[in-house]
């Protein structure tokens, strides 16, 4: 019998590689060190709350994700398109006028000047039809340099772009490549930011659920990888036809990219002072970058009668008291009564993707040592990039045998 392909790492890239091999009829075995699938995309359940491992969203226009997921079965619900901006003690609106026409008047009175709104509208229109390949071929500069070159005012950058994009890139300097900006913003222009009804964990669980159970090994850390074999932490050496390394990039310190981190706090409360599943940007707060009431998106993420507030900070050292102090500035004394549910610090959330990192040419594939490498850090650092990288790893392997 043919030796299986050995895939190390059960995040989205490893899972996508497994699915692609399965479709081609290639035997494989997938080894994951932790007790669940999904790596950085996952959720916990606690006291009746669903808590994603850091605030993240699934863009329903992701081009590769649709190949791997039954989107209907995920019961995706969209956030409002745009954001509320918490400034000077009140919420101002930046809403997509086509999707939320009733918020047009509020948007015209919001933090963006008419000229900035026009720039935003033109940019959205231009990026709507942009393919991934085109986005990854635009002039490579930082996202901040790009926005400035488009003429956005200081106020538009500071009150809207910096917290909005900072929350996506998980870095406040907007030093991420404008290619990543074009990729992500074209998807916002075409589709919606959503979350599955059962939390992010539903995404890897759905993919793993379609794979043969005897090929899947949870709680199985691998300590050594070679081109045709791996050693399990429990001792045995396993031979394979090929080895795919789908571990996160920080497992190899020599090659590890700089990491962008975040800390996410969850609070339970009885009431929040806005209506609808809006992302709230907090440009004036010292610690909080964004927050959102997840129970207004999916009521079942909190026990009946409760709201689940997710609060994201970009400085990983931030503590609960600092966040509560920011919340009190925003919402008054009521915030002091909000019950902390969890604090999740994720220093290695995303690989940094500065100019020079991204191109339309894939970096996934065979390394000099004969091992095939995949992961989000080799494509666009996202759910979609991880899935694409796993698919490309399988393609490289199948091509090798063609």
Identify the DSSP state of 137: T
Binding of ligand FAD at residue 221 (CB under 6 A)? yes
What are the strands of the beta sheet with 237-239, ordered from one edge? 222-226, 229-232, 237-239
Binding of ligand FAD at residue 41 (CB under 6 A)? yes
Instruction: Determine the length of the chain.
Output: 402
Binding of ligand FAD at residue 251 (CB under 6 A)? yes
Q: If DSSP codes are grouped into helix, strand and coil, which group holds residue 342?
A: strand
Closest CA to 344 of 33, 8, 112, 52: 52
Binding of ligand FAD at residue 39 (CB under 6 A)? yes
* Contact map string, positions 60 to 79, toward ligand FAD, x by CB under 6 A: --------------------
Binding of ligand FAD at residue 11 (CB under 6 A)? yes
Rounded to 5 degrees, what are φ and ψ at 265?
-110, 140
* Contact map string, positions 183 to 202, toward ligand FAD, x by CB under 6 A: --------------------
- Cβ atoms < 10 Å from Cβ of 78: 17
* CB closer to ligand FAD, 54 vs 110: 54
Which of 8, 80, 147, 208 contacts ligand FAD by CB under 6 A? 8
Nearest 5°: the CA angle 307, 308, 310 is 140
List Cα–Cα distances, 294 to 75, 78, 92, 102, 220, in angstroms.
15, 11, 20, 22, 33
Partners of residue 268 on adjacent β-strands: 308, 339
Binding of ligand FAD at residue 6 (CB under 6 A)? no
Restricted to residues 318-377, the positions that interact with ligand FAD (CB under 6 A) are 346, 349-350, 375-376
CB 176 within 8 A of CB 258: no
* CB closer to ligand FAD, 54 vs 166: 54
Q: What is the DSSP string of 147-189?
A: HHHTT--HHHIIIIIHHHHHHHHT-TT--SBHHHHHHHHHHHH
Least distance (Å) between residue 339 CB and ligand FAD: 22
Binding of ligand FAD at residue 381 (CB under 6 A)? yes
Which of 247, 298, 373, 392 contacts ligand FAD by CB under 6 A? 247
Which of 5, 156, 308, 383 contacts ligand FAD by CB under 6 A? 383
Q: If DSSP codes are grouped into helix, strand and coil, which group holds residue 356?
A: coil
* Contact map string, positions 116 to 155, toward ligand FAD, x by CB under 6 A: ----------------------------------------
Site of interaction with ligand FAD (CB under 6 A): 8-14, 31-34, 39-41, 54, 56-57, 221-222, 246-248, 251, 262, 346, 349-350, 375-376, 381-383, 386
């Amino acid at each position: 019998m043919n030796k299986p392909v050995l895939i190390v790492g059960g995040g989205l890239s490893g899972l996508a590689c497994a699915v692609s091999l399965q479709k081609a009829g290639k035997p494989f075995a997938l080894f994951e060190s932790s007790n669940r699938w999904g790596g950085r995309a996952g959720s916990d359940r606690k006291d009746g709350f669903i808590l994603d491992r850091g605030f993240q969203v699934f863009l329903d226009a992701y081009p590769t994700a649709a190949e791997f997921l039954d989107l209907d079965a995920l019961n995706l619900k969209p956030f409002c398109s745009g954001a509320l901006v918490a400034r000077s003690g009140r919420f101002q609106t930046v809403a997509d006028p086509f999707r939320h026409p009733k918020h047009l008047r509020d948007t015209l009175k919001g933090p963006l000047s008419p000229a900035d709104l026009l720039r935003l509208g033109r940019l959205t229109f231009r990026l709507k039809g942009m393919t991934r390949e085109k986005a990854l071929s635009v002039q490579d500069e930082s996202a901040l340099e790009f926005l400035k070159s488009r003429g956005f005012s200081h106020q538009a950058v500071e009150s809207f772009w910096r917290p909005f994009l900072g929350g996506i890139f998980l870095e406040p300097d907007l030093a991420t490549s404008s290619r990543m900006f074009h990729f992500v913003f074209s998807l916002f222009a075409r589709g919606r930011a959503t979350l599955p009804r059962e939390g992010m964990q539903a995404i890897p669980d759905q993919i793993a659920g379609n794979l043969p159970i005897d090929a899947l090994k949870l709680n199985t850390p691998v300590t050594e990888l070679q081109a045709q074999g791996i050693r399990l932490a429990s001792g045995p050496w396993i031979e394979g036809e090929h080895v795919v390394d789908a571990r996160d990039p920080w497992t190899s310190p020599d090659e590890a990219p700089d990491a962008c981190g975040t800390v996410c706090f969850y609070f339970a409360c009885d009431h929040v002072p806005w209506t609808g599943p809006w992302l709230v940007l907090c440009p004036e707060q010292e610690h909080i970058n964004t927050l959102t009431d997840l129970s207004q998106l999916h009521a079942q993420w909190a026990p009946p009668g409760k709201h689940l507030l997710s609060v994201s900070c970009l400085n990983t050292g931030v503590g609960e008291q600092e966040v509560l102090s920011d919340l009190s500035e925003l919402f008054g004394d009521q915030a002091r009564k909000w019950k902390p549910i969890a604090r999740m610090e994720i220093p290695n959330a995303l690989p940094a993707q500065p100019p020079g990192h991204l191109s339309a040419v894939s970096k996934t594939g065979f390394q000099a040592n004969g091992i095939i490498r995949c992961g989000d850090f080799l494509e666009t650092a996202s759910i979609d990039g991880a899935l694409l990288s796993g698919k490309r790893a399988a393609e490289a392997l199948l091509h090798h045998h063609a």
